[in-house]
Structure 1
Amino acid sequence: MANRKTSPKQAHRPAPVSLGSIAETTKISPIFLAAIEKQDFGKLPGGVFDRNYIRQYASAAGLDAGPILASYEIWLAGRQQEPAVTPRPEPLSSPLKWLLSLVTSSFG
């Protein structure tokens, strides 16, 4: 049988680790771990937890946390620049005002 050699790229690549085993190791919810894996940072709990979860995930998966944290920072910067838009309440239409005043005056 021929002996197959692994390339240096394959030799330095971490072995795949399941989210279940990472969840057991880190005690982080698999939902949050899956969000980090997909870089869907909006599903993380927010605050001080996010960066710590990313670091723990990367460490347990044998990955460099730097690129993931950089993606998170870009996402966070974009999220903070979005203006908070609160919808204006629409004014009551004239027939609705009339009906509302009729109902309230009949009880008053």
Structure 2
Amino acid sequence: MTDDIGFEEFLKVDIRVGTVIRAEPFPEARKPALKLWIDFGAEIGERKTSAQITDHYTPDALIGRQVVGVVNFPPRQIGPFMSEVLVLGISDAQGAIVLLAPDQPVPNGGRMH
């Protein structure tokens, strides 16, 4: 169980949809990861991130895929790479991350409500 938060606190988390436009391996990462560049539409633009999603995804399979991410966390240095967004996922039964995504195409930059 987690602590309750107010609706106003929840609204501070800016969760948006974007399309992966580039993806490549991240061999310098301590744990297996991929580097992603995501188009979040005209308002936010392109953001990059590192994601430990190698169990279920390859770089080629991610190109053109829509993902959901938090776009208002501060950037975070991960080795030689600056991560600017947190893509969201859920652990499967084995602990590997499965990405969250809309079940139908939506405009890039669309905000979750």
| Range of TM-score over shorter length | under 0.3
Q: Which structure: greater strand fraction?
A: 2
TM-score normalised over the length of structure 1: 0.25
TM-score normalised over the length of structure 2: 0.24
Q: Which structure: greater helix fraction?
A: 1
